A and B are shown apart, each in its own frame.
Chain A
Amino acid sequence: MISRRTFTQRSFIGCAGLLPGVGWAASRRPDPEAILRDATSGRTVTWEGVTIEMPQLAETGNSVPITLSAQSPMTEADYVRRLSIVVPGNPEPLGPAFLLSPANGVARVSTRLRLARTQTVVVLAEHSDGRVTGAQLPVLVTLGACIDELWTD
């Protein structure tokens, strides 16, 4: 019987251990704080005004729908210029980014994510004045997106 913890650890190591560039992931657990510092270039994040709409329980991590939005007037004087997703539990923690302008009218984007394992998904909104706002949402993934690797270990 394989314990849940061993299962998730192995599936993650299986996913992460193959590329030299992410070799660190195989040797130690990723540090979400370091990943966040990397994603924000060290700027302080205000945890408000950003919404993540996403199921908190995903049966498989292969395709998890997400809608991210940030409060902003989206005018020339004040708009969100970048919305990005950070997935600290994936072998590549920096996820997709969306570049916006006042032409968008609203800072709201939907897509589908691949999640390697259970993790806290982070969404960051970079505003035109340099402010960074964000939100976090824990998502339980029953079967990670890199499940193939578990059986080839």
Chain B
Amino acid sequence: MDRLTSLQPRVRVPATARAGEIVEVRTLVSHPMETGFRRDEQGARVPRDILTHLVCEYAGREVFRAELQPAISANPYVAFHFRATVSGAVTVRWEVDGTVVAERTETIEVLS
């Protein structure tokens, strides 16, 4: 499996939108978001392992950035909006300390 899809990133963007319409992007990725505060059955501390950032690019520009924290539940779901202006790619990337670990691209068609 491709390195950037092993976390099963899912992104939902409307296929079409009117120019100027505000559309919602819904994202989900499989990740434990381990807080570092939990212990396993043997009593050993489970090391911290969290996705630190989610970034969305639309038509080549960054339109959204989330700083994730242990207060986000496992398999993080994040939904946000942007104003559709031109047809193009919507790419969502999940990062750990600056390294991209998951990525997914969808396209949106803006009707004139």
Number of interface residues of A (CB under 8 A): 37
A96-B66, A148-B38 known; A104+B72 contact, CB < 8 A: no
Q: Please choose the segment from B7-15, B57-65, B93-101, B103-111 that sits at the chain A interface, where 4 or more of its residues have CB less than 8 A away.
A: B57-65
Residue in chain A with minimal CB distance to B38 = A148
* Residue contact A18 to B37, C-beta cutoff 8 Å: yes
B72 CB, min distance to chain A CBs, angstroms: 5
B1 at interface, CB cutoff 8 A: no
The secondary structure that dominates the A interface is: mixed
A7 CB, min distance to chain B CBs, angstroms: 17
* Residue contact A16 to B37, C-beta cutoff 8 Å: yes
Contact flags (1/0) for A95-136 with B, using CB distance below 8 Å?
A: 111111101111011111111000000000000000000000
Residue in chain B with minimal CB distance to A115 = B71
Contact flags (1/0) for A49-64 with B, using CB distance below 8 Å?
A: 0000000000000111
Interface centre among B66, B67, B71, B79 (most CB of A within 10 A): B71
A94-B69, A114-B70 known; A104+B38 contact, CB < 8 A: no
Contact partners of B18 in chain A: CB under 8 A: none
Taking Cβ atoms with an 8 Å cutoff, the residues of B that contact A are 22, 33, 35-39, 43, 45, 58, 61, 63-74, 76-83
Taking Cβ atoms with an 8 Å cutoff, the residues of A that contact B are 15-16, 18-19, 62-64, 85, 87, 90-92, 94-101, 103-106, 108-115, 145-146, 148-149, 152
